[in-house]
Each structure stands twice: as C-alpha cells, then as structure tokens.
A and B are shown apart, each in its own frame.
Chain A
Amino acid sequence: MIEHGSGAKTGSGANSVAGDGAAADDNILVVRDLHVSYATRSGPVAAVRGISFVVPRGKIVAIVGESGSGKSTTSQALIRRLASGGRIDSGSIEFEGRDLGPMSERELRSIRGGRIGFVPQDPSKSLNPLMRVGDQIAEALRLHLKLDKAAAATEAVRILAEVGLPDPDARATQFPHELSGGMRQRVLIGIAWACNPQLVIADEPTSALDVTVQRHVLDNIDELVRRHNTSVVLVTHDLAVAADRADYVAVMSNGEIVEQGTTEQVLSSPTHEYTKKLVESAPGLASRRLTPSLTALGEQQQSSAGKLFTHTRPAQPAGSATASGAIPAHSGADAAGATNILEVSNLVKTFALRRQGGGSQVLRAVDDVSFVVPRGSTFSIVGESGSGKTTTARIAARIASADSGTVSFDGTDVTSLSGEALRQLRRRVQVVYQNPFGSLDPKMSIEKIIAEPLRAFRVGDRTHRAEVARELLEHVSLSPSLAQRRPTELSGGQRQRVAIARSLAIGPELIVLDEPVSALDVSVQEQILQLLVDLQVQFGLSYLFISHDLGVIRQISDHIAVMRSGKVLEAGTAHDVLANPQHEYTRELLAAIPGQRAV
C-alpha cells in the first residue's frame, strides 16, 4: 500500500515526535502516512493527507488544528470509526505493534473501549439519557472485563470517585440530565478509563465546558495519565490547552501535520508559518490589549472622527428622530453628551423556576448590577455560564427588560422606552450576537442583510444602500463581490464580519457584543478582535463586550466586570482586574486560563 519513497520519509517524520530519547518499541501507537478521504457528490475529498506520528507510552500527544484541519477525522480514523462516507485510503495505524487497518470489525470491538478508550466532544449528547450513569460505566466493564453485575456496579462507583465526582454512590444512580456538563464529561472520562486502557483518544474533551471546569477536568485527565501510565491523544483547537497539558504537539492544517515535536520546541520556536500564526493568535498566550492597526489610525486622521460616511448619511434627516421619538438625533461624534455612554444601575432580573413536584423557586439571574461604560471605550463583562452576563447585556441593550433598576443611555433614561421610541434607540445602540450562523437570515443576500437597518430607517434609496453595503463590506475586510451571496455560502468568520458590518450600517455609538468570537476558530477570533479594535478607533464606537474567555477579554477591554451568580464580584480597569485581582473567584478564573505553562 505504501510506496517505498514515502514510507522511508514518514519513518523519519514519525521519529521526530518522540525525539531522540524514546526507543521505538516504547511507542504505543505508530501512525504512518495515513490518508483518509470522504466520498461526496463531487467525488472523494481528501481530509487527511499523509500524516505520520507516534504516541509514546504514558505521554500526552496533542493534535492541534482549526476546524476543517482534519484533526477530528484523524482521531476517528485511529479507531476506524469514521463518519459515513469516510475511508482510510492508505497508510498504517499500528497499535502495540499490530496494524489496525486490516483487522476485522470483531477484533476491533474488543480493542475499542477495552484497550483504547475514547472521550467524545459533547458531554450533553454522548450519554444515553435513559440510563443511569453508573450503569453506563458498568456496561463497559461487563463487556470488556467480564465482570458480573454486582462487581461491575461496585467498580463503577469506584471509577466515579476516581474521576472526582463528589458522593459517587448517589451519583451512580442518577441520570445524565441530573448532572452538570462538567460532571457528565467526568463520567465519559470514567468510561474511557474504565477498563484501564493503554491509550485514550480525547476529541476536544473540554471545549463545551466553562474555563474553571475545563481546568479541573484536564487536571483529572492528567492525574489518570500519571496513575495508570496511559497514553493520550488529545485533539484540540486550543493551542493553550495543548501547551499546558501535552508532552508532544502535532499541528495540523489542511489535512497535513505542518509541524510536530515536543511542546516546548513547537511553542517556543515554531518553524512553520502556520504554527507561528497560531501561537501568536492563541488568546490564552497573548497578554496585551490589541492596539489599532496603522491603517485604522490613518483612516481616522484622514476623516477626522465624526465625518465618516456612516455618521453623516446624507439622506438621514437630522430632525426626524427628535420629531418621532424621545431620543435626540445623533449628529456626529462632536455632539458628545455625557462622558458615560451607558449607565446601568441596580439592575435586578428574576426568573421563576419550576421545581420537580410542584412549587417554584426564584432565580435571581441579575442581582443588583451597576456599571458605567465610558464613551469610546470597551467595557467587558466576564463570567461563566449562568453568571447572568448575557441577561445583563440584553437588558442594557433593551432587548429584555429588568424587574427593577435603570438603564440610561447618553444621559437619558431609556429603561421604559417602548414602541417607536425604543426603535429610534436602535439607531444608536446595536447588537452583535454570538452565533453568526443564527443571526443572519439564510434567505437574504449579504447586501440586503447589511443594508437592512438603513431600509428600516428609510435611509437613502436602493442604489445608495447598495453602495453603503459595499463600502461596509470593505470596512470589515470582505470582498464586495460577496454582496450577492447568501450567508450559508460564507464561513463563520465571514458571517461574523457581515454581522458587524450590519451593526455599523446605521452609525451607532454603542455596540453590544455578546460573545462575538466564541463560535470561531482562534486565528479567526484574533482577526475579528483586531477588526473590532480598528473599527472602534475609526468610528469612535463604545463597546459592551460579553465573554466567558478572559483571554479574549484581555485583548480588547479597557474596563472589566467579573460576574458570578448574577452579581458583579469585581470591577475596575482592565489592568487592575487582571494584574491585581481582588476577588478569589477572579484569581481562580485567571489561573484557569490555559497556556500558563507555556513560554
């Protein structure tokens, strides 16, 4: 199957991961020149193109790459469990000296789960919802270790204790929906390690988890690796996670391994262009606020803030807003009113939760939150899921309303605006959503999407709006030729640029950004953050930025508020909060940012 030439070449490539120290027979897994393709309507598409690497015994090898790089395909190919249409075209996968390629399905089954464990990506979908978690672990034990029912049940409880679930006896009898995401992932890790495997393949094991939970789960994996001397293939998009946890790193791009070696080598002196870019853009590894690029500064001087086209749309009658609503017309940045564009005080929002067996409980999602956003700066709220950060942002943007408290925009109380007055507020406050796949109407062309706010406020005629849309596309670094495409034809990063362009169209002063980069690949994240920083300077914008990721927050914020359970625990300038955190939880969040071990 393998030609001599490429076989020889991959031999050397395979050794390079292990370095000089590791002897060849100490490698639990040896992959040579692996090619995987998927059958599609227009013929086979290569997903993995000739990769070779080895996994030494007891070590963690991270495969790092962005979406579409072929990293997940690789992890699936290792246990020959490819998605439908996928096939291994050539190459060998030697596990403990035996090639898995020609092995029968029957033999493979005894290896999968028994000697190779698998930790899937999404803990919410990977457990059987109708089976108690203890039974799901016991299932693997009975199948591979042939334990009887009682022994398997006892062993399952021991495993739950080992993966760090509190009160394992009780947890074993619970169903997956009764556990949090982090606990479910621990259960899945428990299943992977249940039969004491030699190798565990973990496909993005913590991507769906909060940072502090992610840290504990990864700690748990580390501990299991040490105790059982297991080898791990850790597939991740997050270079910082790899930096913290892996002994060796292989960087994948376009189905090829572009660089591999010890973690230290790869991160401290990356040789390949792509790795360099990845290292630079990893939010966990970068530590400063991004500065506006030179072109952005140039444009600002040229147009002397306030004279930009979006703020001086010719067809926008200055008096119309005053006539029809409570909000005075916005006539350029020169007319700066209050120094704080947004002031939020004593917000409270409660939700009634139904409890099992009747009765209800009140959840205080936002609990007495106050903050101010100074004009022209970025105010960030950081918190984990359930912290109330998104609810707070939605109230501040007047999408949701608070039970009590006030929101005042540019010195005017907007808390109880409704109808046309609220609509007029949208000229000045815009929102960019987290999910660029959901926030753009799939049936509309890009041009129409971007021009929609203009149409809603009857700004300009059709040709003028099309012109503005094209100009905005250029401002967000997209080709105007995309104007007639539909959102489904664009990548996630491109869509988010479109969403940003749309929010700029009407010339707002404040943009509320709700996790605008968390659905994107890291290198794209960095580009979007840079774009936001540039646009802020060009258009004199203020941002209210929401994120769970302190690494991202660090790159864009002037002021930071840390939220947990609906309360602001700590707030201050970005420098103070990050360099000198006062609250215990902030310190914990900072410590949980992956990538601290590196460089």
Chain B
Amino acid sequence: MTNLRKPGFVLGLIIIAVAIVASLAPQLLATHDPFESVATDRLLPPSAQYLFGTDNLGRDLYSRVIYGAALSLLSASLAVVVGVVVGAIVGLISGFVGGRTDFIIMRFVDVLIAVPGVLLALIVVASLGFGPVSLALGVGLGAAGSFARVMRSQVLRIRSEEYVEAARTLGVRSPAILVQHVLPNAARPVIAMAALEMGTAILSVSALTFLGFGAPPPAPEWGALVSAGRDYVATNPGLSIIPGAVILVVVLAVNRVARSIGGDE
C-alpha cells in the first residue's frame, strides 16, 4: 500500500480510528461521566483535570465530546448507508430497465437533487419527529439522488459490456445478471463516493443537531454541544470552538482518507 507512506493519509486514519473507538467504547477514552455535574467546577478553562474545560453545568466537555461521537458518527453512517442503498437500488433499476421507467425515475431524482439537502432533511425530520434516526434518514435521502445518478451511469456503461450480453446468451436471467455481473462491477465508484459522502454527512448531521433537530438534551451531540456553548461565547469561547474544531478535524480526516480510497490522486 503506497497510501501508508503518505503522512496525511496515516494521520487521517489515526483520527478516524480514535473517532471510531470513541463512538463504540467511549468509556475507554473519557475521563469523566458526561452527565455528571460538579456544581463547583462550572465554566472552567481547559486544564489537566478537564482537558477541554467544563460547561455551564460543570460537566466535563472532553468526555461529552467523546460520548457525542457515538450519536454524531452513527447517525452520519446511517445517513450514508441509507443514501447508498436507496440511491444504488434506484440507479440500478433505472439504468438496467431503461426506457420510460428510466426517464420517470430520473426526473424524480432531478427534483430530489434540486432541493437543498439540509432543507430536505428538515422536511423529513419535521414529518417523522425529532431524533437521530429520522435525522439520518433525512440526510441520507438528501444524498440518495447523487448516488442514484452515479450508479445509473455505471450501470449504463456495464450494461453494454460484452460479458453481460454473454451472460444473457448463456441463459442467465435478468435479476441474476443484475446481481452477479452489473452490481459487483458498478460498485467501486459508488463506494468511493460513499466514503466522500461520509464527511458531508457528519457536517449535515452536526448542522441539524445544532439547530436542535437531533436527540433531546442532555444527550451529547457535536452540533448540540456547539449550540449549547453559544450563550457563553463572550466569556468561554472554547465551549463552542472546541467541539467545532473536533467536527472540522474529523471531517478533514474522513475526506483525506476517502480521497485515497477513490484513487483520486
């Protein structure tokens, strides 16, 4: 792997690894209980005891960021999965069936892409109710349009490959051709795009939780943490800036690694 010789890629991998550990087993990294308030330790600056300082209720911000990874990253991942699965299925059918079906499906996709992703997510969350899962569904559906387009273009390319025609003359049924030949050969660009989409999804999820569409407090979500710190920006800017910086670093790391997976260099 030549990628492993690139420092940016390695750093990105390390950051992602830490983020994954934080979301799966936060107790390994956290130093405090994220929900425990210590009335005497309110709004403290970063120190050895409280790495990122404490918030207005005296909770350890570092531990809250660590515990927040689970909700933020898992809903972002779920969003990507929803986007890829829905988009891939729609694109696959559209490209493979072709003709009128293709035309109708793709016009719906055009509409989907024309609506801004965040707005679409807001609509979904508003109709399904607040919470991380509906948030993920909303963000995922917003991304599904572009996945459908990429998948369709791949399918159109592969459909005209000789081995697909060969499979047909061998007597293979259409659904089997779709699953055995078209899908495996079309998957690569879609997977690369899914990796890139992960960064965008983290941002969208954070933006929506910032606006208060995520899990209700006191659950720690990165966007919610930034939002909670807003009231103290004048006195304790770190409360907003530090979770914001964490979002930034993780998104950059994900994008850096995703770019290498896509072979985009």
Contacts and interface: CB of A to CB of B under 8 A. Distances in A.
A399 B169 CA distance: 7
Contacts of B103: none
Contacts of B161: 438
Given A438-B161, A443-B184, A443-B185, A427 B171 contact: yes
Interface stretch (A75-83, A167-175, A404-412, A451-459): A451-459
Contacts of A438: 161-163
Contacts of B165: 399, 433
Interface in B163-197: 163, 165-173, 176, 180-181, 184-185
Given A438-B163, A439-B162, A439-B163, A426 B185 contact: no
A423 interface: yes
A456 B163 contact: no
B91 to A, nearest CB: 18
A374 B185 CA distance: 40
Given A430-B170, A431-B169, A443-B184, A456 B162 contact: no
Contacts of A506: 170-171
Contacts, number: 61
Contacts of B162: 433, 435, 438-439
A424 B171 CA distance: 7
Nearest to B161: A438
- Classify the interface of chain B: helix, strand, loop or mixed: helix
A436 to B, nearest CB: 10
A441 B178 CA distance: 12
B182 to A, nearest CB: 10
Q: How large is the interface on B (under 10, 10 to 19, 20 to 34, 35 or more residues)?
A: 10 to 19
A499 to B, nearest CB: 8
Contacts of B167: 441, 452, 456
A455 B176 CA distance: 10
A494 to B, nearest CB: 16
A423 B171 CA distance: 5
A276 to B, nearest CB: 35
A426 B184 contact: no
A442 interface: yes
Contact of A456 (B170, B184, B185): B170
Contacts of B163: 438-442
B150 to A, nearest CB: 18
Interface in A174-204: none
Interface string B68-106: 000000000000000000000000000000000000000
Interface of B: 161-163, 165-173, 176, 180-181, 184-185
Given A427-B171, A443-B185, A453-B171, 5 more contacts: A424-B171, A441-B184, A442-B185, A443-B184, A452-B172
Interface of A: 397, 399, 423-424, 426-427, 430-431, 433, 435, 438-444, 452-453, 455-457, 499, 502-503, 506
